[in-house]
Structure 1
């Protein structure tokens, strides 16, 4: 019998790589015993990433979900693991140091055993505190090497990075092949090099199946000494997700490895339950294209987990890009053509941006720049005419050091805008903040919760937590679900629909915010939001600060683009339109207070 290989079920990431939402806690607790009965998983990925945010968006308590979901696995000795984003914690933007420290204490107390920590730029500085705080809290610290394929991402590059993580005290390595573009032979060499250098540190491989390499990659890393492989189960495997456990178990067993048997009765029950969850409501938010593999991802290196939001972006911008092309006497493009253009544009600009590994949030930033380049060129403007603030922060080093050198064109552009590059430790820019959140909870009469878990949720996801507490989140989700159900059941319409101007309750908004200023469109056309471009399905979030004169959004009119600017400084308190919505002249887009 050969060397033992253990499996981890990435049940959280299966859903995140498929669509917008995760199962509810009642669904998770139903399937947990069935996963245990499958008998083949030493680990289950239970939370982290966007898991807590999704629960808040339902209007439900994420702390209850984590505790009840992890408990059955804890009872039988199956390890649970979470995903956290280093400097960004469980969100898309940097987190103060004291909030990061509290996160590990809370998650360990809730029953999460392992913290998989990654930094999207492979900047070790952003992971030092993750290792420190995870171990202090009593968790296993598993640090991730974000895998990509470029001239600078060599075996030596990753081994040197891993050495720094070991110096911090990391317990394990994860080869996080988030786009599945790691070449199998390369991954085998990297695994062997890591094992030769650090023989006592376990290695877990995580690979998406999008471009089709991952099964071969798993065999290579197993032969080179990997200890754990991440797997999925039908109907949420393959496509942009992960290989199915049945295939991996059979492949490794045939190759002579010692692998656990799969209880097929339990597998089929887990499969059926997962399909039931999709049929219940989760399937309304899953893009069908995420069930397909796509070899075009080999060239651009975009991760499968963001394909859903990317397609939403493209659909939202498609008509605006075509209108700009028409206005400039150029041929229109189909949505498929636009997908290929975006992939090609990402491949073109990626080296110019210093080869950031394309993982959250840097995959979104790179995609945003590429999409706005396509839009700018359709208008007859040069590339890099419109770069959003978060993307500039990546370029300027405020999120960490880029792996490669910025192109001279980008350097000159930053210089022309009088932008300064940052070389310090990114964490230093974000001072402790828990006291301010304690004050807010005290003023509202909110309980800190068991192990300060409610305090943590407010500090990590402040906007979503406030909406959860007010009931707005549940109201918004229920309305969104009803809309998706109506779309799914709607007949196919072959004529152009009439654009109706929504009847907004202005009095209700101004009663709550007496000084609120409406943001109105000066012309009829299509909304292109400037803020929160990373998710084209939504407008800017409530609470976004703006200054007088800031460009809030653009309106794609029949003759070109019109800017919509803030008439006062404040914050957005109400949003009335989504990315890509058709609007009429003087229609209210949002309110600023």
Structure 2
């Protein structure tokens, strides 16, 4: 049976969107074992705006936070997000800084690195992808999607193939605004295994599952599992653990 791999986002992207990254470590650690036991493919736990929020709002050391999470979550791979060559900053960083940052993150517990360039300049992912692989992590190379005459289906496929050539283990689409409509996905369902980052995207997730794309996206887990239960996809988790 084909499997859908689910990444839980509550430790980073979800709480970043809802409470601007203000989820304290003391609130995370009591539920860490529960999250670890569910059987997720990965836990999106670090990077992005939550790095700055740890310093500015929580007065926490983000590196210590990562090490504490790794100590409490022993089985499930931890995932982080970086904005390509800018890492978690607002401007491009030197290559040696990029390499050192990623190396340290992997040493402290990161196993999957999700990365994108805001302007889809894939040259800015070359060093981060190489650094992540050298450090022993796997890479999700993501494209920022916005409907336009330029960024059409053919452009997505070309860019995805470029990411694959750079060494990305998985290809993702950052479609936060939900611009990719379900009817558009049906036109070319097998061109590439695109995951979706889509705020209102429960219907897109179902269409993606039906067209046999091989990785998950961002949507409400409870809504999605109900749909999967009536189909022929396996989410890889034990039935007793599905009430989350």
TM-score by length of 1: 0.39
Aligned to 2:241: 263
Q: Is the 8 A contact 2:205 2:217 kept in 1?
A: no
Counterpart-to-counterpart distance in 2, 1:225 and 1:82: 26
1:113 to partner: Cα distance: 0.4
Aligned to 2:93: 95
Q: Is the 8 A contact 1:140 1:171 kept in 2?
A: yes
1:165 to partner: Cα distance: 1.3
1:51 to partner: Cα distance: 1.7
1:185-224, aligned counterparts within 5 Å?
185-189=183-187, 192-195=190-193, 203-209=194-200, 214-224=201-211
- Residue 216 of structure 2 aligns to a residue whose secondary structure is strand
Alpha-carbon distance change, 27 to 217 in structure 1, aligned in 2, over 3 angstroms = same
Counterpart-to-counterpart distance in 2, 1:105 and 1:34: 28
Counterpart-to-counterpart distance in 1, 2:183 and 2:54: 40
Counterpart-to-counterpart distance in 1, 2:186 and 2:127: 29
- Residue 56 of structure 1 aligns to a residue whose secondary structure is helix
Q: Is the 8 A contact 2:20 2:50 kept in 1?
A: no
- Residue 151 of structure 1 aligns to a residue whose secondary structure is coil
Alignment counterpart, residue 152 of structure 1, candidates 150, 153, 159: 150
1:136 to partner: Cα distance: 1.0
Q: Is the 8 A contact 1:86 1:127 kept in 2?
A: yes
Q: Is the 8 A contact 1:114 1:140 kept in 2?
A: yes
* Structure 1 residue 248 corresponds to structure 2 residue 224: yes
Deviations 1:46-79 (A, max 9, x none): 1010122111112221111011113333x22x12
1:475-490, aligned counterparts within 5 Å?
none
1:190 to partner: Cα distance: 5.8
Aligned to 1:488: none
Counterpart-to-counterpart distance in 2, 1:126 and 1:174: 16
Q: Is the 8 A contact 2:164 2:171 kept in 1?
A: no
- Residue 45 of structure 1 aligns to a residue whose secondary structure is strand
1:19 to partner: Cα distance: 2.9
Alpha-carbon distance change, 262 to 119 in structure 1, aligned in 2, over 3 angstroms = farther
Alpha-carbon distance change, 18 to 190 in structure 1, aligned in 2, over 3 angstroms = farther
Alignment counterpart, residue 169 of structure 1, candidates 167, 192, 200: 167
Q: Which has the higher contact order (CA 8 A, sep 6+)?
A: 2
Counterpart-to-counterpart distance in 2, 1:216 and 1:144: 21
1:553-564, aligned counterparts within 5 Å?
none
Deviations 1:145-194 (A, max 9, x none): 21222222211101111121122111111122122222123345566211
1:40 to partner: Cα distance: 4.7
Q: Is the 8 A contact 1:148 1:177 kept in 2?
A: yes
Counterpart-to-counterpart distance in 1, 2:224 and 2:234: 12
Q: CA RMSD in A?
A: 1.9
Counterpart-to-counterpart distance in 2, 1:7 and 1:65: 23
Q: Is the 8 A contact 1:188 1:217 kept in 2?
A: no
Counterpart-to-counterpart distance in 2, 1:190 and 1:132: 31
Structure 2 runs not aligned, ≥5 long: none
Q: Is the 8 A contact 1:29 1:69 kept in 2?
A: yes
Alignment counterpart, residue 212 of structure 2, candidates 220, 225, 243: 225
Counterpart-to-counterpart distance in 2, 1:153 and 1:177: 12
Counterpart-to-counterpart distance in 2, 1:175 and 1:264: 26
Worse-superposed segment, 216-225 or 43-52: 216-225
TM-score by length of 2: 0.90
Structure 1 runs not aligned, ≥5 long: 196-202, 232-242, 268-593
Deviations 1:215-267 (A, max 9, x none): 11111222223223245xxxxxxxxxxx32111111112122122336256x2
Counterpart-to-counterpart distance in 2, 1:115 and 1:190: 28
Counterpart-to-counterpart distance in 2, 1:248 and 1:262: 17
Aligned to 1:360: none
Counterpart-to-counterpart distance in 1, 2:113 and 2:183: 28
Aligned to 2:140: 142
Q: Is the 8 A contact 1:246 1:262 kept in 2?
A: no
Aligned to 1:49: 48
Q: Is the 8 A contact 2:82 2:114 kept in 1?
A: yes
Deviations 1:105-143 (A, max 9, x none): 011001110110101111111111111111111110110
Counterpart-to-counterpart distance in 1, 2:167 and 2:29: 34
Question: How many residue pairs are counted as aligned between the two chains?
Answer: 240
Counterpart-to-counterpart distance in 1, 2:41 and 2:88: 24
Worse-superposed segment, 97-106 or 15-24: 15-24
Counterpart-to-counterpart distance in 1, 2:106 and 2:189: 29
Counterpart-to-counterpart distance in 2, 1:191 and 1:140: 25
- Residue 133 of structure 2 aligns to a residue whose secondary structure is helix
1:82-481, aligned counterparts within 5 Å?
82-189=80-187, 192-195=190-193, 203-209=194-200, 214-231=201-218, 243-259=219-235, 260=237, 261=239, 263=241, 267=244
